[in-house]
Structure 1
């Protein structure tokens, strides 16, 4: 027993609680979260030892959770290309913010997603079509999410929401490519989408 202030703490009981094992799915998720950054950095050359150390587990735990390295890599690749975290991040944007602020946050989230995907593609040497959802479905989903987010500003849009979604997708993707030798920044890209390059009368 150890005294903490006026209370007694059962150290052994506390340690047992802290050491409570994770459920299998939670353990797999924790391992994948540790593996994904390493795969973006090292590709298929990443070792199971590196992943185990990053996840804070023994190598044997990796194999019990996934079977072998190829199965682990396949699960990590699927996680990298999973668009659902992107949709959740976009839906978390405050709809009541100014239009420019919302556009900047949309561009930032899409750009971060594309950078992660492109980094994985390069590191893994993927040449075939990445294992992602159908492009048409992706575009439709982005249009739906932006339609909800930009609904309060619909009267200010000069083009259909489908066109806005395509502008944002193309610019965010292009700026995430490794051959892009410039970084305009999310605010500049958002301003380009919102106002183009021609100054209107009365603007400074």
Structure 2
């Protein structure tokens, strides 16, 4: 006697929503609001009707994608995982990489989502600046500015380098930005020449 294969466990509404959001995110980046529910269903491997059992409308789905991309929690976790024992150069490089990835993702998704993608949640910029300052504090003696100011500079440079309209010109890579943040464009400040 052959046994019937076990029926796949049905997903909760939250799990189904999450799975659909995962599928639609790259499609939204590629097609913007013009993405169709058929494309979403094909990418997610579901029937179109399943989308509307999870979300009331395509617009609600797009807002859910934007909300997930704007969620600051993943960046909090990633920054908290940066090892304070790393040399300053490696810590700054890790920070630059994490910030640029976040900024690029957020601006891409907001650009594709259009006006419906405008954030409604509170901006966590101050909190992240404090987290960065904490990561820089072990090397306070090496810094030419206080850690909180250095953190602000890192955020500002990473943001500007992540947005093509601001950057205007060739893209920067993480190593180049890290070196620029750490050493500037002229190295250490010139010392005044002693006069006899």
Instruction: Tell me the TM-score normalised to structure 1 length.
Output: 0.81
Give unpaired runs (5+ residues) of structure 2. Answer: 190-196
The number of residues matched between the two structures is 187
Q: Is residue 46 of structure 2 the alignment partner of residue 57 of structure 1? A: yes
Give unpaired runs (5+ residues) of structure 1. Answer: 3-9
Cα distance in structure 1, aligned partners of 2:80 and 2:100: 16
Aligned partner (choices 4, 26, 32) of residue 21 of structure 2: 32
Aligned partner (choices 185, 190, 201) of residue 173 of structure 2: 185
1:90-121 deviation per Cα after TM superposition (whole angstroms, max 9, x unaligned): 22222221111111111111111111122123
Cα gap change, 1:176/1:132 in structure 2, threshold over 3 Å: closer, same or farther?
farther
Q: Is residue 71 of structure 2 the alignment partner of residue 85 of structure 1? A: no
Cα distance in structure 2, aligned partners of 1:157 and 1:133: 33
Cα distance in structure 1, aligned partners of 2:183 and 2:4: 62
Q: Is residue 118 of structure 2 the alignment partner of residue 130 of structure 1? A: yes
Cα gap change, 1:92/1:118 in structure 2, threshold over 3 Å: closer, same or farther?
same
Q: Is residue 71 of structure 2 the alignment partner of residue 71 of structure 1? A: no
Cα distance in structure 2, aligned partners of 1:190 and 1:11: 58
Aligned partner (choices 33, 47, 62) of residue 44 of structure 1: 33
Cα distance in structure 2, aligned partners of 1:129 and 1:166: 26
Aligned partner (choices 143, 151, 155) of residue 165 of structure 1: 151
Equivalent in the alignment of 1:12 = 5
Aligned partner (choices 125, 137, 143) of residue 139 of structure 1: 125
Instruction: Tell me the TM-score normalised to structure 2 length.
Output: 0.84
The alignment's C-alpha RMSD in Å is: 2.4
How big is the shift at 1:47?
0.7
1:55-110 deviation per Cα after TM superposition (whole angstroms, max 9, x unaligned): 22211111001111111111112112222212222222222211111111111111
Cα distance in structure 2, aligned partners of 1:54 and 1:144: 40
Task: Please say which of residues 149-158 and 51-60 is displaced more in the overlay.
Answer: 149-158
1:150-174 deviation per Cα after TM superposition (whole angstroms, max 9, x unaligned): 2322232221222112211111111
